[in-house]
Amino acid sequence: MTGKAAVKGRVDQGDTYAVFGNPIKHSKSPQIHKAFAEQLEDTLTYRAVRVEDEKFETKVRGFFERGGGGLNITVPFKERAFALADRAGAAAQRAGAANCLVPRDDGLHAENTDGLGLVRDMVANLGWQLQGRRVLVIGAGGAVRGILHPLLQERPDALTIVNRSPARAQALVDRHEGSAIPLQAGPVDKVNGETFDLVINGTSASLSDALPMLPEVKLSARCCCYDLVYAAEPTAFMRWSAAHAAWAVADGLGMLVEQAAESYYLWRGKRPATEAVIGSLRSRLLENSI
């Protein structure tokens, strides 16, 4: 849903929020933040704004000069958002990309809440354990770039990234040089024959209900499989996971809501409860009404 998410009451400039991206029609952020605001009896507006490529920096600066309370940033601007900020949180620094901008007294802060959102969904909502697990990530685009730091903070046993274009996977591993967690990268078949406890599909193949090329791996007895993409029906990767006897399978709807909740907290210092919002979005997704 695009457009404005408004909650009744007077809205100050500092209570105006938005997500900037291009395209932006698909964004569910306005309805998620509207639900958070209603839950917390907060007064704010949140709009989805399609920004022309050459105008991104000007639009961001203009938004904050007018006193805007905070921005979410989506494709293709996450790296440019990081570059124009004055300071950055650890996840954004490691990623070199930001999905959230927060105005503070000491300047504009870049944050990346995608990975924290993913970890919260897996650990708090789904009850999956990450510590000591052998993790395989398939894909090496912007989303994977954003999730690595929080994933590594959970202290898995080891983490491997494979990608159709292996050099992109290697570049991500290089960004985490010095990590205490063993990291490796390579082409998809690099891990053939290996066993994993958690497999994350970070490719965009599911958007067209396609299965990315997958390695011939073994799933351990308690292996969990997570697709960053969400959809009304199980994605091709989720169906593959179930057919390979994964212990648990999930899509990325919970991650979407959790990353938004973290943004809300960074902007307003209040943490929304997420369970009902995830449930309501899921229902509407199933009814095809979003």
Q: Catalytic site residues?
A: 78
Among 83, 181, 213, 290, binds ligand NDP (CB under 6 A): 213
Distance CA 46, CA 94 (A): 28
Which of 139, 150, 156, 272: binder of ligand NDP (CB under 6 A)? 139
Min dist CB 49 to ligand NDP, Å, is 18
CA distance 276 to 1: 18
Q: For 50, how many CA atoms within 13 A lie in the half-sphere containing its CB?
A: 8
CB of 229 to ligand NDP, least distance (A): 4
- Strand pairing report for 87-88 and 70-73: unpaired
How far apart CA 219 and CA 197 sit, in angstroms, is: 6
Residues 226-255 that bind ligand NDP (CB under 6 A): 228-230, 252, 255
Q: What is the DSSP letter of 72?
A: E
Residue 119, interface with ligand NDP (CB under 6 A)? Answer: no
The answer to the question of residue 212 lying near ligand NDP (CB under 6 A) is yes
Interface residue with ligand NDP among 90, 124, 207, 242 (CB under 6 A) is 207
Asked if residue 141 binds ligand NDP (CB under 6 A), the reply is yes
Residue of 88, 205, 246, 281 interacting with ligand NDP (CB under 6 A): 205
Residue 63 · residue 71 · CB < 8 Å: yes
Q: Is 130 in the site for ligand NDP (CB under 6 A)?
A: no
Residues 165-184 close enough to bind ligand NDP by CB under 6 A: 165, 168
Q: What is the Cα–Cα distance from 50 to 25, expressed in whole angstroms?
A: 8
The token pair that represents 58 in the structure block: 């000007």
Minimum CB separation of residue 201 from ligand NDP in Å reads 8
Residue 100: name the closest of 196, 192, 213, 21 by CA. Answer: 21
Phi, psi dihedral angles at 38 (to 5 degrees): -65, -45
Say whether residue 214 binds ligand NDP (CB under 6 A).
no
In the bound state with ligand NDP, the residue whose beta carbon lies nearer, of 25 and 61, is 25
Instruction: Give the N- to C-terminal CA distance of the chain in Å, as an integer.
Output: 7
Smallest separation, CB 10 to ligand NDP (Å): 32
The answer to whether residue 164 forms part of the interface with ligand NDP (CB under 6 A) is: yes
- The answer to whether 30 contacts ligand NDP (rule: CB under 6 A) is no
Considering the complex, state which of residue 7 and residue 199 has its C-beta at the smaller distance from ligand NDP: 199
Q: Which is nearer to ligand NDP, 16 or 163 (CB)?
A: 163
Structure tokens at 220: 């351990």
Say how far apart CA 260 and CA 114 lie, in whole Å: 8
φ, ψ for residue 153, nearest 5 deg: -60, -25
Binding site for ligand NDP (CB under 6 A): 75, 114, 139-144, 163-165, 168, 202-205, 207, 210, 212-213, 228-230, 252, 255-256, 259
